[in-house]
Every structure is written in structure tokens, then in C-alpha cells.
Amino acid sequence: MKGRSLPTALRGAGVGLAGLALVLATACTGGSGSPTAAGEGETGPAVDVRISPKDGASEVEPDVPVTVEAADAKVTDVRIEQTGGAADAAAEESASPSPSGESGLGEVTGSLSEDESTWVSDRNLTPGSEVTVTATAENSDGEQTEVVSEFRTKQAVEGKRLELQSNFPTSGQTVGVGMPVIVNFDLPVENKAQVENSMEVTSETPVDGAWNWFGDTTAVFRPQEYWEPHQKVTVDLLLAGVEGSDGVYGIENHQLNFEVGREQISTIEDSQHTMTVERGGESIKTFPISNGRGDIRKYTTTSGVHLTMEKYDHLVMDSSTTGIPVDSPEGYKLDVDYAVRFSNSGEFTHAAPWNGRLGESNESHGCTNMSNADAKWFYEQSLMGDPLIINGTDRELEVDNGWGYWQRSWDEWLANSATGEPDTTDGEGTPGDVHGEDA
């Protein structure tokens, strides 16, 4: 996590300080690990090194931090190995790949105290794992001691395994500059701050961002401003061992990798019945459109900052999906081409060759009607996550209607984060602790 003081060279070096050449001179202390052989003539350890959890422990809570303490010495190396565990068991049960890209146990990194005498893990352990912690410390005379602690973490029982159900975007996608990171879990999350701190977003151009929750199973990360275009973004979902709710543990880590494409922002002026598309700040296209007729709320196109969500070259629009029977006076069932969704209340841009009032008046049931040629162009040029701003109607887009997340100001978004702190996407960790309350 961010905020711990440690030498830069020791941060993010994998498991401990694997690149250092260490010469083991003495045995370890008793009570905190398994002793190594003492050198000839040695009568005891040169350094008192203690590891927690202690050697031989079982049923260790996965979200308890690993701590290495050296009395009057400096911790120089910590290596943590995990075998078995809930993630391995889940992989055996399912032949399908993870929906999010790379996954696995991963490395357990940690942070040193200012005087380098204490090392604390900043990730959780995998449930049901055999864990081996090997730590080395060195005193001011250059004498070194190695300690080994072996223990087992508590298993995540069936029905209490927090797993990733889906995510947007998925690895390999290229998205628009407004695209959030959306993570859907299979079980409710109560310990939202700990889960937020277990999910780290890193971008090539660092920005401030934060997570918000929509219900107990959906977490959304959004930067303060739109992403800079043409850059790669990585999301490390370090869920293994995090206690999402009482007795419910994450079992697997995931990594998402996507790319932010060109900047395309489209603006609809309802009173003018036009859409203008800008790319890189330059206007490249203006079309005549026809929005919802607006005589009742459900036929009023929503105003606000939308994002393009998905698109179909052909789509059947059925009024019964919005509670209006097809055979009622207001019912409809239409085959439309080049449909691009921008809310969850049935709003799309799409071709409407039957609408003879494009650029003149609003005639639709809430969608944005376009000519066949213009709808095709917009369909082909749109990426998921492109901002689509609509001005001038009297129905405001709700923040949870589709991906209306930019409807919250940055101050509101930050206030709705469980941590209450911005998370800079610089790869230097998240704002707070991933461990449990009893850590």
C-alpha cells in the first residue's frame, strides 16, 4: 500500500530482495521459525529474527500480514512461497480460462520500516496454502541469520469463496477515453475498503482515480478526468486472501490489460437536433438527428455524460422489454441497423430511415435516430467507453443508468469511495491496507 516508508530499491522487487547475494553465517532463533545449521564454532544466532505467523501454525487467516522483525539489525531478504490453495482447486474444477486474463498465486511483496528492522507483507495469502517464509537479517558487523517459518492458511470453504464474475473491459480490448474499470463479484462485499485496496490500476500516464460501489457486488474505477489517449492500462486484482465479508475470502488473483485508443467525444444538442463528433479536440463530423419526443418521461432522451457501451449491426427493438406490450397503442417491434447503446434505459443511436424529421424535431421513443449512412459511420467509428454528451432535455441521466459514472463530480466520486482517498495509477500501491481488522 502507499504511505509506508522504505528504500525505493526495495519496493516492488518481487518476493523480497531476490537479487541480493546472501551468505548465511549462523542459525536462526528458536520459537519463530525452523533453525538452519550453524557455522563451525558458532554457539548461537548472530541476529534475533522473528517471523509471524510462527512456524507450524495452521488455520492462519489469509488476510493476516506476514511480519519479519530483526532485533538491532536490518532485514535484507524475505521470500514467500505458496503451494496448493483455493485457486489451484478452482482451476481443477473448471477447464475454462479466467475471464480476465492472467491469473495465479502471484508474488507476495512487502514493505520495510524506516530503520529496515521490520518487514510487513502488503498482500494477502492464498486460502488453503502451504506457506514457507524465508527471511534473512544482517547486523552491523555483517553477520547474517536466516529464519524459516512454515504454516498453513485457512481454507476458503465452498459458498464463501469470493470470485470475479465478470469485468469490463476485458484484456486485449481498445477502449474510449471515458472507459471505467468495472468489476462484478459473485458474492456481496462488506469490507469494501480492503477490497478496493486489493485492486491496483496502473497506467502509462499516471492519474488520480478512485473506486465506487454500485450495490455490494459491483466496483467501478474511474479517473478524475478522461484517460489520456493512446496508452496501456493494467489492473491487478489481488483478490486472493482478501476477506470480502465475514469468513468470505478471495481465492484467485487476476490481471487485466487494455489499451486506451484515440480520443473521440460526441455531443448532441437536443434543441438543434444535431450530433457533433470531435476527435483529438477537432470537429470531424456533424449529423442531423432526432431524439425522444419528450411528451412523457420514458420517451425523453436523457441528458448528461453517457458512454458508448456496446453495439450491434442489427438489433430487434421490442417495447415489451421496457414494460410496453407490443400490441398496445404505444407498442413497437422494430428491426434496426447500426445500434450503439448509451444507457440501460433502452437508449441507442441507430439508423431510422422511416424518420423524415431528422434535424428538425424529436420523434423517437427515446433513442437517437440517424440516417442509415450516418448511423453506419458512427457504429463503425465507436469504441466502448467513448463519451457521448447530450445537452438540453429535461431528463437527467442517473449515475447508475448504464455507465453514467461521469455524472458524479470528482469530489462526489471521491466521497463515495470506501477509502475516501485518491489512488494514483503510478504502480506504487493503493492508498490503504489490504489486511483484516485483527491484523
Domain boundary residue, one of 152, 179, 203 = 152
CATH number for position 203: 2.60.40.3710
Please indicate, yes or no, whether residues 194 and 325 belong to a single structural domain of this protein. Answer: no
Residue 429 lies in a domain: no
Q: What pLDDT is recorded for position 408?
A: 98
CA distance 375 to 313: 10
Q: Is the pLDDT of residue 343 over 60?
A: yes
**End position of a domain, from candidates 152, 172, 200:** 152
Q: Which helix (H) or strand (E) holds 245?
A: strand 243-245
Mean pLDDT, the chain, rounded, equals 87
For 45-62, the pLDDT digits (tens) are: 789 999 999 999 999 999
- Whether 432 is covered by a domain: the verdict is no
* 42 found inside a domain: yes
- 340 in Cβ contact with 305 (< 8 Å): no
Q: How far apart are CA 86 and CA 249, in angstroms?
A: 10
pLDDT tier at 331, thresholds 50, 70, 90: confident
Is residue 223, in this structure, part of any structural domain at all? yes
Q: Residue 276: what pLDDT? A: 98
Same domain, 123 and 256: no
What Å distances lie between residue 329 and 64, 326, 386, CA to CA?
Answer: 62, 8, 35
Amino acid 10: pLDDT: 31
Has residue 3 been placed in a domain? Answer: no
Domain shared by 216 and 274, yes or no: no
In this predicted structure, what is the pLDDT of residue 252? 95
Q: State yes or no: cis peptide before 169, omega within 30 of 0.
A: yes
Quote the CA–CA distance of 374 and 123 in Å, as a whole number: 50
Q: pLDDT digit string (tens) for 386-421?
A: 999 999 999 999 999 999 999 999 999 999 999 999
In a domain, 51, yes or no: yes
Of 91, 118, 152, which closes a domain? 152
Told to judge if 230 belongs to the known catalytic residues of this protein, a careful annotator would answer: no
Please give the tally of structural domains in the chain. 3
- 12 and 143 in a single domain? The answer is yes
Is the same domain home to 209 and 327? no
pLDDT > 80? residue 204: yes
- Phi, psi (degrees; rounded to nearest 5) at 3: 105, -15
- Domain with residue 63: its CATH number is 2.60.40.3780
Position 39 scores a pLDDT of 38
Angle at 274 between CA 268 and CA 276, to 5 degrees: 65
The answer to whether residue 89 scores a pLDDT higher than 60 is no
Domain check: are 250 and 356 in the same one?
Answer: no
- Predicted TM-score (pTM) of the model is 0.85
Catalytic residue, candidates 254, 306, 350, 365? 350
Catalytic annotation present for 350: yes
- Does the pLDDT value for residue 99 go beyond 60? no
Looking at the fold, whether 144 and 196 belong to one and the same domain comes out as: no
Domain range enclosing 142: 8-152
Q: Are residues 240 and 288 in the same domain?
A: no
- 257/326 same-domain check: no
For residue 410, what are the CA distances in angstroms to 215, 223, 359, 432? 20, 9, 34, 20
Q: Which residue has the cell 521470500?
A: 79
Contacts of 44 (CB under 8 A, 6+ apart): 26, 27, 38
What grid cell was written down for 144?
Answer: 547474517
Q: Does 388 map to a domain?
A: no
- Both 140 and 167 in one domain: the answer is no
Q: Which amino acid is at 386?
A: D
Q: Give the HSE-up count for residue 20: Cα atoms under 13 Å, Cβ half-sphere.
A: 20
Query: How many helices (H) does the chain have, and how many strands (E)?
Result: 4, 29
